[in-house]
């Protein structure tokens, strides 16, 4: 539940009350039942509906009536297509991830290589700290069970984080596919944003669970990530970080054109800026 929306859970499912004049994104967790009339009201109000796993550990589908905000999509695309602006965004992501400035006079590809080496070393240190035998990051998406327990735990944990990051990106009005460090995938920007939080959140969870050598690592990891996301209030932090990262590109948000669609229900604005404006 973000961006000013209000959800009431009762025995019969979920009743949704939209904020007057506010822009909302409702994250619908397992067990939610929403009527056709409620979805129609959400569409008229410009409310994004996102069907997720518990605490956002999976993103299954999203309903975005009328599409995302054009100004934010154009802004993101301009940043990604301008090599200088893109490099500034990547340098900001490096700074946030490693808590230090990126090396000077390096290209995006060079920074990607430096980041990869540092991440591999961080995995090694984290495995040592948790007493886990680590043979490197190896997994085969098409043959999940051939991976060892640490890799299965890490893959399950990062999948949880990717779902939450994608939900936040959609809620903020951006496109998950338009990435800066990662490119060419439907979730490229989700990978970019998730990586900023990986070693603070899901990587420790993965190695903690792996150290116990569970018989069902994916389920244990998913539940542990759910608890970590709630404890750290991660969802509340994601959208401000997304905006901060993109602002590093040095471009201004396009002005809304005169024919831009107004707020569906006039009144006092509540919550953060949503996917419509």
Asked if residue 73 lies in contact with residue 255, where contact means CB atoms within 8 angstroms, the answer is no
Q: For residue 49, what are the contacts with CB-CB under 8 A and spacing of at least 6?
A: 25, 26, 28, 34, 39, 42, 62, 63
At what angle are helices 188-195 and 83-98 packed, to 10 degrees? 40
Say what the pLDDT of residue 267 is.
Answer: 52
277 vs 161, more confident:
161
Tell me, yes or no, whether 50 and 162 share the same domain. no
Is it the case that residue 5 has pLDDT exceeding 80?
no
Q: For residue 165, what are the contacts with CB-CB under 8 A and spacing of at least 6?
A: 190, 191, 193, 194, 197, 238
Token readout for 53 is: 């796993």
Tell me, yes or no, whether 59 and 98 share the same domain. no
Is it the case that residue 2 has pLDDT exceeding 60?
no
Q: Over range 160-187, report the average pLDDT.
A: 91
CATH code of 37's domain: 3.100.10.20
Asked if residue 192 lies in contact with residue 80, where contact means CB atoms within 8 angstroms, the answer is no
Give me the number of domains the chain comprises. Answer: 2
Residue 48 lies in domain: 6-63
- Kindly report, residue by residue over 130-157, the tens digit of the pLDDT: 999 999 988 766 665 667 999 999 999 9
Mean pLDDT of the chain, nearest integer = 82
Q: How far apart are CA 237 and CA 207, in angstroms?
A: 24
Which of 112-126, 240-254, 256-270 is predicted least confidently? 256-270
Q: What predicted TM-score, i.e. pTM, was given to this entire model?
A: 0.79
159 within domain boundaries: yes
Q: How far apart are CA 181 and CA 131, in angstroms?
A: 31
Tell me, yes or no, whether 52 and 184 share the same domain. no
Tell me, yes or no, whether 104 and 163 share the same domain. yes
Tell me, yes or no, whether 189 and 239 share the same domain. yes
Q: Over range 236-264, report the average pLDDT.
A: 83
CATH code of 122's domain: 1.20.120.920
Measured CA to CA in angstroms, residue 108 lies from 132, 147, 200 at distances of: 32, 30, 24
DSSP-based three-state secondary structure for 50 = strand
Tell me, yes or no, whether 161 and 82 share the same domain. yes
Q: For residue 95, what are the contacts with CB-CB under 8 A and spacing of at least 6?
A: 101, 102
Q: Over range 47-68, report the average pLDDT.
A: 74
- Scanning the structure block, which residue is given the tokens 């509906």? 49
């Amino acid at each position: 539940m973000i961006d000013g929306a209000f959800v009431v859970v009762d025995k019969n499912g979920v009743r949704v009350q939209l904020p007057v004049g506010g822009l909302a994104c409702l994250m619908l967790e397992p067990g939610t039942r929403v009527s056709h009339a409620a979805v129609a009201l959400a569409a008229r109000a410009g409310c994004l509906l996102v069907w997720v796993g518990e605490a956002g550990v999976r993103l299954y589908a999203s309903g975005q009536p009328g599409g995302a905000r054009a100004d934010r999509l154009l802004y993101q695309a301009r940043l990604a297509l301008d090599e200088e602006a893109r490099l500034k965004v990547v340098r900001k992501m490096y700074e946030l991830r490693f808590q230090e400035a990126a090396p000077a006079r390096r290209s995006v590809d060079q920074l990607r290589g430096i980041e990869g080496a540092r991440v591999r070393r961080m995995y090694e240190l984290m495995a040592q700290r948790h007493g886990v035998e680590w043979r490197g990051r190896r997994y085969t998406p098409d043959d999940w069970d051939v991976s060892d327990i640490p890799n299965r735990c890490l893959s399950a944990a990062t999948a949880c984080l990717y779902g939450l990051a994608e939900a936040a990106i959609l809620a903020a009005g951006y496109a998950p596919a338009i990435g800066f460090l990662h490119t060419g995938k439907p979730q490229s920007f989700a990978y970019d944003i998730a990586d900023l939080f990986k070693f603070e959140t899901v990587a420790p969870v993965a190695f903690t669970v792996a150290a116990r050598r569970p018989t069902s690592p994916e389920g244990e990891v998913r539940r542990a990530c759910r608890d970590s996301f709630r404890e750290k209030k991660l969802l509340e932090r994601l959208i401000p970080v997304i905006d901060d990262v993109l602002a590093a590109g040095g471009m201004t948000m396009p002005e809304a054109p005169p024919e831009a669609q107004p707020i569906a229900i006039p009144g006092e604005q509540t919550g953060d800026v949503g996917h419509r404006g």
